[in-house]
A and B are shown apart, each in its own frame.
Chain A
């Protein structure tokens, strides 16, 4: 009898063993890879962190210079020599829904946009953030949303003014955070709707950030929003508004060209830089830009100069300081404009504003002197003779601006958009409104949104 008691006691202990491990505890595991939605964006501090996350994704787009590299592959100033399949598809003007660079750009830009949408949705309910900071945060969100939609729009949508039989759709406008699967599917808006949206966003950002300035480097400011507005208006040939925006920046006196041409890309946060994405050793995403243009060892860079560009550059004096960007060795020509390992990625710099100021000014009745003086600021810095009054008349001045802009902004992702805007007759053999210049809706979109209207 005693034995049975002992046994029963032992059995009891044994049977309880698993229970003593505390049953519910075993199911309590901490997710170290992600913070639950309901805890991630609750107070001022967490919203600030999500705002940083939105910039992080923006860096994946602009800081990787993806739109710039895309544009250069088509514009004809460089030739692609590498073996990357996606770049070859772009270089041969035969993109597919699998082409890597546009696919990644689409994905990262929309990740940034969704992150700003999450911030905008959360910010309303915050009690521990003052109104000033709220407005500033909203301004930053509107800026990122506007700028990124615009970068996508240029890659996926036709230049305004294409014939009616061409596809008129731009990109998907996203203004709500994605919370569930059902809300994730949306159709493309037209190009003109997209422009209206982008301009509205950037205007809101301009106003909000002017009243509530953001002082951290690399973050959006009212001036950056104005610069983007100038870029957007200019792209749609709205010269009056483009001039107004550019003029505002020129008159502000905040910007100044660097005397050393090598500083324009490689030096961080100079007075010439209007918008730069900061890159540090710990946070280095500049690899795509330097990776494409830089020479490693004896192998030529993946992007070499096209013969056309070499011939074009030869029309400038040999004393032009910008000639130092162009190198020639036994096997080919290439540029050293980006020849450094760590550098900020310049999204907008002052010469672009000056060119807009000059060209939109010319279109809207500014004096020829004023136009020439904008261009001459750049020519002075390059160390070449200024334009004189011999260059006169709208056609001649437009040609001079085009010429100067081509040289100054070479390899910076400017040329393709300029040629599309001016309805160039040949963009490496393609018409300005060729469907082959449009990125394809990537497979990552189509597979979740099979009814999306594709690009031809």
Chain B
């Protein structure tokens, strides 16, 4: 609405202006080599505030106040700045046509590095830059997920397709076991608060405080990967650094752009569950199996085989009645069982939309940028919504030639209706314990509830869990240009995160209505100042020095109240409850840092750089408070050598190498301190007790990284790219180590062990066709990463480190988060019982085999596996000692390929992403396949249709039983997570100038985008792109591929329009 109003006003103003006769300057701007008109070029009249922007035909028009001689300067990205003088008579119109020389090298682009910028061709570290325009106009749930497949070395996985959920980002593999492994995010020089601060007992998906990021605000995203790049961020650089540069005002008259998209979305894939009749048949089959099995144990049937006994069961009336009279869960029978499709009830076709309006312009003295964006998403699960209202204003001023200052402020309100996605509610319950035989409503039309259980639809429609975030990020800078080549710059920034969670369980769901109101406020401020000095410049020697310091502090405070028992249904907040319980939590951390950098360029082709940062953090023990992180790097632009000139193929070539240290400090506050905790009360008296073991030597874990790379540009930069090798060793890993519980304590965080990530990154961009009519560009990247745990100190038991569910483990010699599972050999054809494999070690003695069981002994021993059977050939029960490493959480390779086409006004972009070599452990699958009565009855996947039914059946799915098989993990439910996904398909059309000009617009583009429309995978579950939700960083690191009823990604289709005035 606001948007439409603004447009109308602006159009009206433009029309009014054009009606008067006046002094003006008109002309055209075109490319000097192709002679094509250039659109969007900024034309500025020097020493005035006047200027304009060219239209699609390259034309511009500037109204002047009076005649005279003016200098016109023209700037455009990718072209050299051009100036020209022109004389205009009063009340006349003068014509000025300009041709711009292309600034040939793509590699002339600027890279944002920590505390400064650099020419891309001159960087000596590993940086990847993504332009803001590549991540706008997509219905991706998070900004991070928009980067998926576009950045080599960075594995990005959106947690799931629910509105408001987080993504997981791993730069060059996972480098820690206990500490957080997400990169550091820095916006305009201010480190951001990141992580999940939602109430963790609410069993909804994880959230991410970064969800406030609005792609429309972003100029560029630079991802820092190697030590040369990250060491300047010291103790927080080890997981990589993401530098986000926001859009700033550009010199020239006001540019207005606006856009809108809307569309619909649903789940990318639906889990195949058996229908009502099949489920009922399976249930009674399981019962029949159990009866047959128990009869076989009787002496009367001793020695008889399954076929004989089951024939007896089928023909004996007593047995038949025993089976058919038995009731199904909730006392239902074949006659009373309903036929419900719960997925149809809890899933829906959602919608998504976004509108933005942005203004930008200014003079050389003051520039401004303003953007407002509203985004709304109605998720594909009933009750799940998300909206975001973002506003950002930035102002940059240059009062004098020696002084710059400016700042920006962004205000964002996010509102998220969250839903439970675990087994205890919503989609999780609908696929697990809520059976197709359960009615949705009872005869009175009220929600039907299974005994004390829940009705997932009732939960989704009635449970309130509204999370509202107000986020303010503000920063200001001032820069003093003391002399040519010397400036001092100071930045101060605030990041205020304010989350309110409002929860309410109404009487329709529970006998005791419950409400909770919770507020989390995190205040984070950063101040830094640095000096940049270039004492020597020139082609022979070029030296640049940076030195500075930074202080950061973060304070968190949680306040909440729960309430129970309300006088009536009107009152829904704890303030009106009869029983109220409050709680608070407060913590803080601080960093104090000094940093410096030296760049030296010799003869324009030999580049050297060294950085160092020294950090102190309150998170570490008194003995180890300060840490220093140096890096050194060098590069050789060999294409600048005489012998490479005129070679006709290689237009740019650079070899670079770097080595350095960075740290990871992302653990909880105060974990080094031996403490007594309060709250240990007895009989109304307050008490304390020992709660944490001390570790005064606790310090950051250190990542030592070697990076070797080749950057190249061929055929006039038609093909550009790079090849990177890296070897990243995480040492003194932060490890939450278990101590025996008989000590009275549970864990201690120590610096233990070492882990390596080694890999190769390849990026290629190829402009396959480039003609004025048709352009085709291909971007391809692939990353190979291999991870290995080199040591875990004195830890020998794989169970000493708790990684969560599904038995992923940290075992020396294997990749971190390898699955430790008993191998499964399928159903025994004779009995239908599961057969497990046990490791055996052949010995040379006469006894033949010696069964070797200890897991600790696995390393370095040649093992064989054999089917575990007793002496009479019957399968043995599962035994934890038979677990062996099999499969892993993190992929061997991942990446993306983007093809972009432009023809006439059309543009098409197709992005495929892929992942190879990792496995998913379907933790719910162990119940959804074959365990029909686990916990009183679960749904069954269609895979269960392949179950064993009679002797001789060869299948992986064992005999059905109601006896609730042991809750065990085997590789039966381990699946390849390989996938190739058509992530994004966009087709756009830019209207011809003639039409847009008639509408009074500079540019008008319409487009449609489809997300996640095709997925190639062998995984039988919802979606191979999985992040299991977890409460601790350790579980998130070690367990993300262990899915448990995790909802799939969203498949969405949107239609949109972008316009520029």
Q: Which residues of A contact B (CB under 8 A)?
A: 3-4, 7-8, 10-11, 14-15, 17-19, 21, 23-24, 26-37, 40-41, 46, 49-57, 59, 83, 85, 88, 106-107, 110-115, 117-118, 171-172, 174, 177-181, 183-186, 216-219, 278, 280, 282-283, 296-297, 299, 442-450, 452
Interchain CB contact under 8 A, A31 and B670: yes
Is B528 positioned at the interface, with any CB of A under 8 Å from its CB?
Answer: yes
| A24 CA to B553 CA, complexed, in Å | 11
B482 on interface, CB distance cutoff 8 Å: yes
Q: Which residues of A contact B616 (CB under 8 A)?
A: 27
Q: Which residues of A contact B511 (CB under 8 A)?
A: 297
Some 20 contacts from A to B, beta carbons below 8 A apart, are A15-B490, A18-B551, A21-B527, A27-B617, A29-B589, A34-B673, A34-B675, A54-B687, A55-B683, A83-B935, A83-B936, A110-B743, A113-B744, A115-B689, A180-B694, A184-B743, A217-B683, A219-B683, A297-B511, A447-B738
Shortest CB-to-CB span from B479 to chain A, Å, is 9
Contact between A37 and B674, CB atoms less than 8 A apart: yes
CB < 8 Å neighbour of B529 from A7, A14, A30, A35: A14
Complex: A217 Cα to B689 Cα, angstroms: 20
Q: What separation, in Å, do the CA atoms of A282 and B686 have in the docked complex?
A: 12
Which residues on B sit within 8 Å (CB–CB) of A174? 742-744
How distant is the Cα of A183 from the Cα of B511 in the complex, in angstroms?
49
Q: How far is the CB of A443 from chain B (nearest CB, A)?
A: 7
Inter-chain contacts of B673 with A (CB < 8 A): 31, 34, 36-37
Chain B residues positioned under 8 Å from A33 (CB to CB): 585, 587, 670, 675, 677
A118 adjacent to B750 (CB under 8 Å):
no
Given contacts A31-B675, A35-B676, A447-B797, contact A7 B402 (CB under 8 A): yes
Q: Which residues of A contact B553 (CB under 8 A)?
A: 26
Q: Are B549 and A110 in contact (CB under 8 A)?
A: no
B748 & A181 in contact (Cβ 8 Å cutoff):
yes
Residue B951 interfacial (CB < 8 Å): no
- Interface contact tally, CB-CB below 8 A: 248
- B552 with A26: CB separation less than 8 A: yes
5 closest Cβ contacts across the A-B interface?
A114-B744, A34-B675, A52-B687, A53-B689, A40-B676
Residue of A nearest to B798 (CB): A447
Inter-chain CA distance A183–B694, complex, in Å, is 13
In the bound complex, do residue A56 and residue B529 qualify as a contact, i.e. CB atoms below 8 Å apart?
Answer: no
Tell me, yes or no, whether B1015 is within 8 Å of chain A by CB: no
Residue pair A26, B592 in contact (C-beta under 8 Å): yes
Docked CA distance A55–B687 (Å) = 9
For B750, the chain A residues whose CB sits under 8 A away are 181
Question: Which residue in chain A gives the minimum CB-CB distance to B588?
Answer: A29
Tell me, rounded to whole Å, the shortest Cβ–Cβ distance linking B858 to chain A: 14
B478 CB within 8 Å of chain A: yes
For the complex, what is the distance from the CA of A34 to the CA of B677, rounded to whole Å? 4
CA distance A373 to B13 in the complex (A): 108
Contacts of A117 in B (CB 8 A): 744
Q: A11-B480, A113-B744, A299-B452 are in contact. Are A280 and B675 (CB under 8 A)?
A: no
Q: Across the interface, name the chain B residue whose C-beta is closest to A446.
A: B799
Q: Are A448 and B739 touching (Cβ within 8 A)?
A: yes
At the interface, yes or no: B987 with Cβ under 8 Å from chain A? no
Do A7 and B480 touch across chains, with their CB atoms under 8 A apart?
Answer: yes
Q: Given the complex of chains A and B, what is the CA–CA distance between A255 and B127 in angstroms?
A: 80
B482: chain A residues at CB < 8 Å are 4, 7-8, 11
Q: Are A29 and B740 in contact (CB under 8 A)?
A: no
Cβ B690 vs Cβ A114 within 8 A: yes
Question: B423-463 vs A: 1/0 string, CB under 8 Å?
Answer: 00000000000000000000000000001100000000000
Interface residues of B (CB under 8 A from A): 402-403, 451-452, 478, 480, 482, 488, 490, 492, 511, 527-529, 531, 549-553, 585-592, 616-618, 625, 669-670, 673-678, 680-694, 737-746, 748, 750, 796-797, 799-800, 802, 856, 935-936, 964, 967
In whole angstroms, what is the CA distance A431 to B339 when docked?
48
Max chain A C-beta neighbours (<10 A), residue from B677, B685, B694, B796: B685
Q: Are B800 and A450 in contact (CB under 8 A)?
A: yes
Q: Which residues of A contact B589 (CB under 8 A)?
A: 29
Given contacts A3-B402, A29-B590, A36-B675, is CB(A445)–CB(B742) below 8 Å? yes
Known: A11-B480, A52-B681, A447-B797. A34 touches B692 (CB 8 A): yes
CB proximity of A47 to chain B, nearest CB, Å: 10
Q: How far is the CB of B563 from chain A (nearest CB, A)?
A: 15
Contact A59 B936 (CB under 8 A): no
Question: Is the beta-carbon distance between B586 and A32 smaller than 8 angstroms?
Answer: yes
Contacts of B552 in A (CB 8 A): 26
Q: Which has the most chain A C-beta neighbours within 10 Å: B549, B586, B676?
A: B676
Q: What is the minimal beta-carbon distance from A387 to any residue of chain B, in angstroms?
A: 39
Q: Which residues of B contact A183 (CB under 8 A)?
A: 743
- Nearest-neighbour CB distance to chain B for A309, whole angstroms, equals 25
Q: Which of B531, B586, B675, B935 contacts A35 (CB 8 A)?
A: B675
Check if A114 sits within 8 Å of B480, measured CB to CB: no
Contact B688 A186 (CB under 8 A): no
B688 A35 Cβ-Cβ under 8 A:
yes
Given known A-B contacts A11-B480, A52-B681, A34 and B670 have beta carbons under 8 A apart: yes
User: Contact at A14–B586, with CB atoms within 8 Å?
Assistant: no
Task: Please indicate the chain B residues that have their CB under 8 angstroms from the CB of A110 in the complex.
Answer: 741-744
Hey, which chain B residues are within 8 Å of A219, CB to CB? 683
- B687 partner, pick from A53, A113, A278, A442, beta carbons under 8 A: A53
Residues from chain B with Cβ under 8 Å of A54 in the complex: 687, 689
User: How far is B738's CA from A282's CA once the two chains are assembled, in angstroms?
Assistant: 32
> Which residues of chain B have C-beta atoms less than 8 A from A446's C-beta?
740, 797, 799
B618 touches A29 (CB 8 A): yes
CA distance A450 to B529 in the complex (A): 52
A50-B687, A110-B744 provided; 20 other pairs, C-beta below 8 A?
A7-B480, A11-B480, A15-B529, A17-B529, A24-B592, A27-B625, A30-B588, A33-B677, A36-B675, A40-B675, A50-B688, A52-B685, A52-B687, A56-B689, A179-B694, A180-B693, A186-B742, A445-B740, A445-B741, A452-B740
Nearest A residue to B531 by beta-carbon distance? Answer: A15
Q: Point out the residues of chain A lying under 8 angstroms from B478, CB to CB.
A: 14
Q: Which residue of B lies closest to A51 (CB)?
A: B687
- In the complex, what's the smallest C-beta–C-beta distance from B267 to chain A, in angstroms? 29
Least CB distance, B104 to chain A, in whole angstroms? 38
